[in-house]
Amino acid sequence: PLGSRVNERGNLEIGGCDTVELAREFGTPAFVVAEDDICARARAYVEALRARHDDFDVLFASKAFPCTAVYRVLAEEGLVCDVASGGELHLALRGGFDAKRIYLHGNAKSLAELEQAIDAGVGHIVLDSFMDVDRVEQVAAARGVTQAVLIRVTPGVAGRTHAKISTGQADSKFGFGLDDARLAIERLRGSDSLDLVGLHMHIGSQLLSLDAYRPAVEALAALGDFSTYNFGGGLGVAYTAGQQPPAIEEYVEEKVRALHELIGTGKRLLIEPGRSLVANSTVTLYSVETVKRNVSTWVGVDGGMSDNLRPMLYGSVYEAFFADRPELAGSGETAHVAGKHCESGDVIVRDVPLADPKPGDILVTPATGAYGHAMANNYNGIPRPPVIFCKDGDARVVVRRETYDDLARRDV
Ligand code: LLP
């Protein structure tokens, strides 16, 4: 994260806090967040857009890190918010987002979620199917309101990424294909309670190349002229030193240029980053419990697929090193960092050099802010980790660690 460094004691410091001390004080596993890092990236998005385009908003794709404190920080930075469910909507409102500044997404929104959103006064709903159109219209009409909507289009262009997070291809569970989008646009022209303001697309996540955006915008341009365009999120981040994603400025530049050249300049431009706002702000701290040497060296830690599902779902690669000797990152015996769950796939990092691993060591995996806390679970009865915000040397718990009582709380 921004501002992380090795301190006088030789320990990794995040937001001015010594990570070895954080582990002692708050326990492990724990998500440690450099609050300033999130703010800096939000500002980078806003400034990059402001320098290039008049009328815009940056939406926080809140699925990436849905907790009240993160919503609050980004609301204070002036962002608007993308929610993908009634639950995220609830958290976004709780975190301080004005309902008018919230966009509701979803390919299978329930009637209850639509009622919740429209009753809350959500600014925009992104329509995903003909049935969604009918339902949103029905709820808006019953409430006697005119609801602003966007149509989500799958432009038939897929961003190059893992298949499970590629969304722009023609046969997708998301959005309208190009032909159906035309029909939906026609259908909405006749609606008394839905006000179609524009088009949305999101072609994939963790994109390390910007190539796919231009053809996707071209496909949208062929659908007519609207006041608002949401070009989604998707900018990839570096999980390891070897990955080199485009900078926020380059990503914004590409989207703005595509808008200006293929659609026009006087439009409202929305972009919807999740991962690239929050991933690199956070590290996970684990404690080493065991070291086993058989064919490989297995370093067993006190978390795993309950706090980071990404290696198991997408084959994602992470780095790992020790909090009290970060300068030795990348050197030492090659090992696998294994989680504590009951399956062989529960490996957080494979083939990583680790300097003299031993029980009690605090192991750090960087870049866990996006889709870590978000996808955490209680597999094997593991209480989910706390989220700790660090800033100027102060640490505060913004999500507490779960307890065993929490695990039983819903049991009747
Ligand atoms: N907008 C929409 C409509 C989306 O579906 C998504 C992500 C975003 C924006 C934000 O995309 P981002 O900027 O974060 O790439 N769990 C997966 C990622 C799933 C992304 C889902 N949609 C992972 O851990 O890689």
Q: Which of 180, 183, 128, 173 is nearest to 152 (CA)?
A: 128
Give the pLDDT confidence score for residue 290 in this predicted structure.
98
| Same structural domain, 172 and 305 | no
Residue % of the chain over a pLDDT of 90: 95
Of 277, 300, 323, at which residue does a domain stop?
277
Q: How many C-beta atoms surround the C-beta of residue 263 within 10 A?
A: 18
| Same structural domain, 134 and 193 | yes
Which ligand 1 atom is the nearest neighbour of the CA of 152? 3
Answer whether 155's CB lies under 8 Å from 228's CB: no
Q: Which domain holds residue 211?
A: 35-277
Of 260, 277, 294, at which residue does a domain stop?
277
User: What's the pLDDT tens digit per position in 48-83?
Assistant: 999 999 999 999 999 999 999 999 999 999 999 999
| Same structural domain, 73 and 126 | yes
Beta-carbon contacts of 278 under 8 Å, excluding residues fewer than 6 positions away, are: 38, 41, 64, 65, 70, 369, 370
Domain of 145, CATH number, reads 3.20.20.10
For residue 65, the SS3 value is coil
Answer whether 232's CB lies under 8 Å from 224's CB: no
Structure tokens at 21: 């001390």
Pairwise CA distance, residues 12 & 2, whole Å: 12
> From the annotation, which residues make up the binding site?
234, 272-275, 310, 314, 343, 371
| Same structural domain, 236 and 319 | no
Separation of first and last alpha carbons in the chain: 42
With bands split at pLDDT 50, 70 and 90, how would you rate the model's confidence at 189?
very high
Give the pLDDT confidence score for residue 382 in this predicted structure.
98
Give the pLDDT confidence score for residue 13 in this predicted structure.
98
Which ligand 1 atom is the nearest neighbour of the CA of 371? 24
Nearest CA to ligand 1 atom 4: 202
158 or 102: which carries more pLDDT confidence? 102
Pairwise CA distance, residues 43 & 30, whole Å: 26
For residue 84, the SS3 value is coil
| Same structural domain, 94 and 222 | yes
Q: What's the rounded mean pLDDT across residues 379-386?
A: 98
With bands split at pLDDT 50, 70 and 90, how would you rate the model's confidence at 394?
very high
Pairwise CA distance, residues 274 & 205, whole Å: 9
Residue 165 has pLDDT above 90, yes or no: no
Pairwise CA distance, residues 79 & 233, whole Å: 14
Answer whether 13's CB lies under 8 Å from 6's CB: yes
Answer whether 161's CB lies under 8 Å from 204's CB: yes
Q: What's the rounded mean pLDDT across residues 85-105?
A: 98
Cα angle 115, 120, 125 (rounded to 5 degrees) comes to: 65
Give the pLDDT confidence score for residue 158 in this predicted structure.
75
For residue 303, the SS3 value is coil
| Same structural domain, 101 and 176 | yes
Q: Which of 85, 28, 4 is nearest to 307 (CA)?
A: 28
User: What's the pLDDT tens digit per position in 250-301?
Assistant: 999 999 999 999 999 999 999 999 999 999 999 999 999 999 999 999 999 9
Give the pLDDT confidence score for residue 166 in this predicted structure.
74
For residue 198, the SS3 value is strand
| Same structural domain, 26 and 55 | no
In whole angstroms, how large is the CA radius of gyration of the chain? 22
| Same structural domain, 150 and 256 | yes
Of 257, 277, 297, at which residue does a domain stop?
277
CA separation, residue 224 to residues 66, 148, 155, 159, 333 (Å)? 35, 18, 14, 23, 59
| Same structural domain, 51 and 22 | no
Answer whether 200's CB lies under 8 Å from 151's CB: yes
ipTM topping 0.90? yes
| Same structural domain, 94 and 155 | yes
> From the annotation, which residues make up the binding site for pyridoxal 5'-phosphate?
234, 272-275, 371
| Same structural domain, 351 and 266 | no
Beta-carbon contacts of 353 under 8 Å, excluding residues fewer than 6 positions away, are: 330, 331, 332, 333, 334, 335
Please give the distance, rounded to the nearest whole angstrom, from the Cα atom of residue 233 to the centre of ligand 1.
7
**Hunting for tokens 């240029």 — which residue is that?**
257
Residue 172 has pLDDT above 90, yes or no: no
Structure tokens at 283: 């590290």
| Ligand 1 first shell, C-beta below 6 A | 61, 63-64, 82, 105, 165, 202, 205-206, 232-235, 272-276, 310, 314, 371
Residue 170 has pLDDT above 80, yes or no: no
Domain of 330, CATH number, reads 2.40.37.10
Pairwise CA distance, residues 29 & 365, whole Å: 11
Active site residues: 342
Cα angle 200, 74, 99 (rounded to 5 degrees) comes to: 60
Tell me how many domains the chain contains. Answer: 2
Give the pLDDT confidence score for residue 161 in this predicted structure.
78
Please give the distance, rounded to the nearest whole angstrom, from the Cα atom of residue 393 to the centre of ligand 1.
31
Which H, E and C letters describe 94-118, residue by residue?
HCCCCHHHEEECCCCCCHHHHHHHH
162 or 362: which carries more pLDDT confidence? 362
Please give the distance, rounded to the nearest whole angstrom, from the Cα atom of residue 337 to the centre of ligand 1.
26
Residue 198 has pLDDT above 90, yes or no: yes
Give the pLDDT confidence score for residue 18 in this predicted structure.
98
User: What's the pLDDT tens digit per position in 202-258?
Assistant: 999 999 999 999 999 999 999 999 999 999 999 999 999 999 999 999 999 999 999
Give the pLDDT confidence score for residue 318 in this predicted structure.
98
Round the average pLDDT of the chain to a whole number and report it: 97
Q: What's the rounded mean pLDDT across residues 35-46?
A: 98
| Same structural domain, 132 and 266 | yes
User: What's the pLDDT tens digit per position in 298-314?
Assistant: 999 999 999 999 999 99
